[in-house]
Amino acid sequence: MKPFINAILFAVVVTVARSSCADIYVDATQAPTQEVGVSYFGVHFHRLVLQPHERAKVTQWPTMAFGNVRLWDAGTRWADIAPKAGIWNFDRMGTFVHTANQHGAEVLYTLGSTPQWASERPDEPCPYGKGCGAEPVRMAHWEEYVRRVAQRYGNRISAYELWNEPNFLDFSRDVGKPGFYTGSVANMVEMARIARQVLDTAAPSARLCTPGFVNGPDRLDKFLADGGAQYVQAVCYHFYAEGSEHFIKQVNEVRAIMKRNGVAHLPLWNTETGVDTLVPGDPPSGIAALSREEAVARLSQMLILGAASGIDRFYYYAWDNTRSGMVSPEGRTLAGHDAILKLQSWLLGAQFKGCHSANQLILCEALKAKKKYAFVWTSKPTPNTETLPVGLQGAVEESLFGDMSQYTVDSVPIRLELVQSKP
C-alpha cells in the first residue's frame, strides 16, 4: 500500500472539489444529513427456496449486512400465490418473509403480476406467460389479493411496491408493447387507492410505494399527477444506468418530478438496480458486455452516488442472479463479491458532503469517525494528469480490488483520507 497518492493525481482530485467550473453532481447543501446505515442496503434473492425444477443450491444468507429485501423474481407474484381462482399457496412466500425477518431485514413486497384467470386480457403476452401485464378484470380480485397478503403477514411486511416497471397505454410509445403492466394510469391509480384502503385496515403501519418505474420518469410524473400521489408514502424507481452521469441525471429528474407533484418530502427508494455481465457462450451485446470487475465498479459508483444524493434505500438486483450476482447457482463466490463487502464497510457510518465532476474525474466527499474522505473514480477510461498547487494530501486507504498498486484512478472507486499537506 502506498502511504500517499502522488501530487499529479491528487492535484486533479482536488481540482474536482474546488474548481469553479466543476459540474455539481450532488450539491453539498442538499446532501443527506444522516449517516449511511444498514437500512440503505437492500437486496433481491431468487433461491432462498428452490423451485421444483431447479438444479441449484439453496442460497445462503450473505455475510454482507442487508437492512431490506425486495420480493421480486422470487416466485411470490400474485400469479404465483394464486395460480387458480380460490386457490392460495403462501408456502414459498412465507419462507422468504420468515428468512428475511430472521436476519433483521425489512420486507418490501411488490404487488401485481395478474394471474391469467383474473386478467382483463388473459391471452396477452407478458414476461411470465400470458395475462400478467393486464389489470384485473374485476377490482374485487385485486382487493381480495391485497387483503389476504396484508392480513397474513401484518407488520412482517413493512412496505408494498404497487407494481413492477409498468408501461401505460396513455403513452404512444407503450401502446401494443408487452410489459409487466400494459393498462391505463387511471386503473393503476385505482389499484393504489384500493391497496391503501386495505392496508389502512389490515396493516396500517405498512408503507405503500409507487410502482417501481424504469426507463422514463414521465410515467411516474403522470401517475402522481393523476391522483396517485395521495395514496403513497414513498417513491420507487429503478435506476438502471449506463454510468455515473446517467445515474445522477435520472435521480435529478425524479427529484424534480417529486417536487412538482408535492411529494418531495417522501423517501426515494431505488428498488432495483443491477449491472449485467458476460456469460460464457453468449454473444456480447449492449450493457451486458462487461466483465464482473467492470460491473462491480459500475455498481459501486451508483451505490456511492445513491448514498450521496440521499436515496434512502438501494435494492441490489440480485445476490444470486446468474448475470449480475455475487454467488453462482452452485453457491460459488463470484468475482467482485469481496469488493462489494469492502464498499459497504466504506459507506457505513459515512455522512456525505456532496459530489463534483471535472476533468473526467468524479469525487464525493464524506465524513466518517471525524475523518475526511474522498471517493474518487473516472467516468472515462483515461485519467487526467494536470498538475495544480494543492493544500491537501490523500492518504490512500485502498482500492476496491486490493491495495493501490499504481498511481492511477480508473472506473474502480478508491477511497482517500484527506489530510493537510506538510509545509
What's the DSSP call for residue 375? E
How many Cβ atoms sit within 10 Å of the Cβ of residue 290?
19
Residues 398 and 267 occupy one common structural domain: no
Residue 222 falls within a domain, yes or no?
A: yes
Residues 206 and 305 occupy one common structural domain: yes
Whether the per-residue pLDDT at 355 is higher than 70: the answer is yes
Starting at the earlier edge strand, list the strands of the sheet with 392-399. 23-26, 351-358, 361-368, 371-378, 414-420, 392-399
List the one residue out of 99, 96, 119 whose CA is nearest residue 109: 96
Helix/strand/coil (H/E/C) assignment for every residue in 32-54: CCCCCCHHHEEECCCCCCCCCCC
Concatenating the DSSP letter of every residue in 307-327 gives HHTT-SEEEES-TT-TTT-SB
Residues 65 and 204 occupy one common structural domain: yes
How many Cβ atoms sit within 10 Å of the Cβ of residue 218?
13
What's the DSSP call for residue 30? G
Residues 14 and 59 occupy one common structural domain: no
Sign of the alpha-carbon dihedral angle for 361, 349, 371, 339? negative
Yes or no: say if 163 and 213 are a contact pair by the CB < 8 Å rule. Answer: no
Residues 374 and 331 occupy one common structural domain: no
Residues 271 and 393 occupy one common structural domain: no
- Note the pLDDT tens digit of each residue in 116-138: 999 999 999 999 999 999 999 99
Query: For residue 410, what pLDDT is reported?
Result: 83
Instruction: Find the range with the poorest average confidence among 13-17, 49-53, 173-177, 391-395.
Output: 13-17
C-alpha cell at position 39: 437500512
Q: Tell me the average pLDDT of the chain.
A: 89
Yes or no: say if 16 and 379 are a contact pair by the CB < 8 Å rule. Answer: no
Residues 233 and 369 occupy one common structural domain: no
Last residue of a domain, one of 295, 321, 348: 348
Residues 156 and 286 occupy one common structural domain: yes
CATH number of residue 256's parent domain: 3.20.20.80
Can you tell me whether residue 372 is helix, strand or coil?
A: strand
C-alpha cell at position 73: 423474481
Q: What is the mean pLDDT of residues 320-344?
A: 94
Residue 2 falls within a domain, yes or no?
A: no
Last residue of a domain, one of 302, 331, 348: 348
Residues 68 and 157 occupy one common structural domain: yes
Q: What is the mean pLDDT of residues 12-16?
A: 50
Range of the domain at 169: 36-348
Residue 341 falls within a domain, yes or no?
A: yes
What's the DSSP call for residue 15? H
Q: How many domains does the chain have?
A: 2
Residue 30 falls within a domain, yes or no?
A: no
More confident site: 280 or 97: 97
List the one residue out of 164, 156, 39, 142 whose CA is nearest residue 101: 156
d(CA 380, CA 411): 7
What's the DSSP call for residue 230? G
Residues 119 and 247 occupy one common structural domain: yes
Last residue of a domain, one of 329, 348, 367: 348
Query: For residue 390, what pLDDT is reported?
Result: 45
pTM, entire model: 0.93
- Note the pLDDT tens digit of each residue in 158-189: 999 999 999 999 999 999 999 999 999 999 99
Query: For residue 75, what pLDDT is reported?
Result: 97
C-alpha cell at position 237: 424507481
Residue 29 falls within a domain, yes or no?
A: no
